[in-house]
Amino acid sequence: MKLKKGNIAPDFQIEDVLGNQIDLKKMQGKKFYISFLRNVNCPLCSLHVLKISKQAEYLKSLGLVIFVFYESDKIVFKHSEFFKTNVLNENRFSVVSDQKRVVYNLFGTEISPEKCDLTLLKNAGRFETVAEANKLGITGNGIDAGTNPDAIPADFLIDENFVMQYVHYGNDAGDNIQLKLVEKFVLNEQF
């Protein structure tokens, strides 16, 4: 079931890829950005994570807690130069491996072959986005063993009382929230 603005965020306890325990309810009083992505071989996802990593220090200084979920096995992140260099070594936000899609399902994320159709992706400008990722050295074909290639991204902005303030379910495999909205949310600006 899809969540909506005004819903209370589902509680979850999980470990991130570095072994840190995450217990959402124990973090009351903080604002959260939770992003659900596909897998480590998805260039659209990795480009989004790179953009998050470039703003993470600033957003964290404003009190925002960021969780990025992937279906990929956690061992993959530790062997990925991209993740080691751009994400894990910086420790600005938590990357979570949820291979069984437990938290994905709590948040009502989608699996949709229709939203991964190549014609739809082309019309949405995602081929250009993949080319942009490739120019930055981000490659991949979106296929990762044990993950679902038809997983669709979803993004959630959650306030200090765990109330959903913004809910974005992707229209295609590369449709993520605009990070400017995340910044406005943490600054208490209208978005």
- Given a contact cutoff of 8 angstroms between Cβ atoms, the answer to whether 10 and 107 are in contact is yes
Q: pLDDT band for 161, please (50, 70, 90 cuts).
A: very high
Q: Report the 3 state secondary structure along the chain.
A: CCCCCCCECCCCEEECCCCCEEEHHHHCCCEEEEEECCCCCCHHHHHHHHHHHHHHHHHHHCCEEEEEEECCCHHHHHHCHHHHHHHHCCCCCEEEECCCCHHHHHCCCCECCHHHCHHHHHHCCHHHHHHHHHHCCCCCCCCCCCCCCCECCEEEEECCCCEEEEEEECCCCCCCCCHHHHHHHHCCCCC
Give the count of beta carbons closer than 10 Å to the beta carbon of residue 145: 9
In order of 46, 63, 97, 134, 151, the CA distances from 77 in angstroms are: 12, 25, 9, 19, 19
- Which amino acid belongs to residue 53? S
**CATH code reported for the domain at 29-161+169-186:** 3.40.30
Q: Which of 51, 26, 49 is nearest to 39 (CA)?
A: 49
Other C-beta atoms closer than 10 Å to the C-beta of 8 total 11
Give the model's pLDDT for residue 173.
95
- Judged against a pLDDT cut of 90, whether residue 151 lies above it is answered with yes
Q: How confident is the model at residue 79 (pLDDT cuts 50, 70, 90)?
A: confident
Q: What is the amino acid identity at position 178?
A: Q
Q: What is the pTM of this model?
A: 0.96
Lowest mean pLDDT among 75-79, 153-157, 169-173, 175-179: 75-79
Q: Residue range 129-136: average pLDDT?
A: 94
Which of these ranges, 94-103, 138-147, 169-178, has the smallest mean pLDDT?
Answer: 138-147
